[in-house]
Amino acid sequence: MAVAMLLLVYEDIVCSYDKLDTTLFFGELWLDGSVKGVNGLLPCVIDALHHGYTHFFVPMENMHELEYIPDIVVYPINHFSQIVSFFFGKEILYPVTQPKNIEDLYQEAQKLLVNFDQIKGHCVAKRALAIAAAGCHNVLMIGAPGSGKTLLSKALQSILPPLWFEEILEVSQIYSVVGKLRKDLPLITKRPFRQVHHTASKISIVGGWSKLTPGEISLSHKWILFFDELAEFPREVLEVLRQPLEDKVITISRVAGTIQYPANFMFVAAMNPCKCGYYKDREKQCTCSLMDVKKYQSKISGPLLDRIDMTLEIPREKIDLILDSHKGESSESIGERVIAAWRIQQKRFAGTDITANAHMTSKDLDEFVPLNDACKSFLLQATQRLTLSPRVVHRIIKLARTIADIQWVDQVSIQELAEAMQYRNKNFFVEEM
Ligand SMILES: [Zn+2]
């Protein structure tokens, strides 16, 4: 396409077009003259906008990606002859100049979510997940098969605040690069929830391939990366998570070059406590040996567990609770508390790179979460009694900060620290891992 346009310029065919200096042409030109769609149109157009370009000739197949972008003039085309005829004045091309209303996309995206009021019981887990969503804390849920771990994880997406417009463009650009912007939902307006299966390849999770495309780690940027059946994942895949969990970016190096993609996600995982699924179950007998249980759990390394703020036990709910027709609290109601906590954090971290409590470094804690003597003494005793590492103590303080935020409490007290500690449930683990 670029070469064809150069020829038109060289032949002076487009010299009369007064917008040439601010116009770009995109598409894959085929030998029969048809212009096919390309991946990555959205980031190219957004970058071009920053460099003063305002007029774009794009393949009809990609047109949906630009329908909601303001302040641009778009000419959708499907054959190169249209461009030639346009410049010869033989064909009028009607540009699209008015962006569609993005509110329609928000409503469409909201329809597809799992609502917390569809999940019976699990009061403790629901509170814990609201706290996790409020402060972007990584979560591991452990429980027997059928206890509701996966459904609870999916419902998390419904209590997250909507993406603001700048974030929509940021996330949608990543999806554009891999050709995942659908015609019916051409921009990503809800925070991503990416569920990864344990059979997925390392490269599909990290990114790469021959064209350095982003993987699941980047597709879950700006919110949830969910690993179901965590212990079934190959250890090398789990270890790969450690760097982006710390740095919030992923660097991909291949023969084709090196590229860095954003990877600021909240990690949510679920697992059975053992191979048969019923270790320490209240009703069903586990058929695994203690050695088997230990081997099963050992796939989750200590360093990875250290990066998880909340380890939740998800028990199977009693049948009378499941049959109860009363609905629980809705996602809309829980989501209001989450949004309020996000606003508190935005104010707290204004002027810094920090976006959530979980992202504070140990150095930030003194400034943003000052503790009184009673809290320090409580933590000291807990550290000695439970032999907690400094990293774990810092995570407890950050989590306590979020618990205080979701309750509109200014100062973290022993109460919030004690609740934060309860969310480090190691009951299911055979021994300290
Ligand atoms: Zn078992």
Q: Are residues 131 and 216 in the same domain?
A: yes
- In this prediction, what percent of the chain has a pLDDT beyond 90? 58
How many angstroms does the Cα of residue 412 sit away from the middle of ligand 1? 39
Q: Among residues 42, 77, 100, which one ends one of the domains?
A: 100
Asked whether residue 362 is domain-assigned, the answer is no
The answer to whether the CB of 257 falls within 8 A of the CB of 212 is: yes
How many angstroms does the Cα of residue 282 sit away from the middle of ligand 1? 13
Q: Are residues 22 and 75 in the same domain?
A: yes
Q: Are residues 68 and 121 in the same domain?
A: no
HSE toward the beta carbon, residue 358, CA cutoff 13 A: 26
Q: Are residues 150 and 67 in the same domain?
A: no
In whole angstroms, give the CA distance from residue 292 to residue 302.
18
How many angstroms does the Cα of residue 371 sit away from the middle of ligand 1? 42
Number of Cβ within a 10 Å radius of residue 392: 18
Task: State the pLDDT confidence band at 324, using cuts at 50, 70 and 90.
Answer: confident
Q: Are residues 36 and 158 in the same domain?
A: no
Q: Are residues 164 and 84 in the same domain?
A: no
For residues 313-336, average pLDDT? 82
- In this prediction, what percent of the chain has a pLDDT beyond 70? 94
For residues 273-299, average pLDDT? 92
How many angstroms does the Cα of residue 425 sit away from the middle of ligand 1? 18
How many angstroms does the Cα of residue 312 sit away from the middle of ligand 1? 18
Q: Are residues 120 and 181 in the same domain?
A: yes
Asked whether residue 45 is domain-assigned, the answer is yes
Q: Are residues 196 and 63 in the same domain?
A: no
Number of Cβ within a 10 Å radius of residue 433: 15
Task: State the pLDDT confidence band at 425, using cuts at 50, 70 and 90.
Answer: confident
Q: Are residues 54 and 109 in the same domain?
A: no
* Residue 37 domain boundaries: 2-100
pLDDT of 94 > 90? The answer is: no
Q: Are residues 27 and 153 in the same domain?
A: no
- Using one digit for the tens of pLDDT, what is the confidence trace for 165-221? 889 999 999 999 988 998 888 899 889 999 999 999 988 999 887 778 899 999 999
Asked whether residue 258 is domain-assigned, the answer is yes
Q: Are residues 95 and 114 in the same domain?
A: no
How many angstroms does the Cα of residue 271 sit away from the middle of ligand 1? 12
Q: Among residues 281, 307, 331, which one ends one of the domains?
A: 331
Task: State the pLDDT confidence band at 300, using cuts at 50, 70 and 90.
Answer: confident
Q: Are residues 108 and 200 in the same domain?
A: yes
Q: Among residues 312, 331, 350, which one ends one of the domains?
A: 331
Long-range contacts of 16-20 (CB under 8 A, 24+ apart): 16/87, 17/87, 19/54, 19/55
How many domains is the chain partitioned into structurally? 2
Write the CATH number for 89.
3.30.230.10
Asked whether residue 349 is domain-assigned, the answer is no
Average pLDDT, the chain: 89
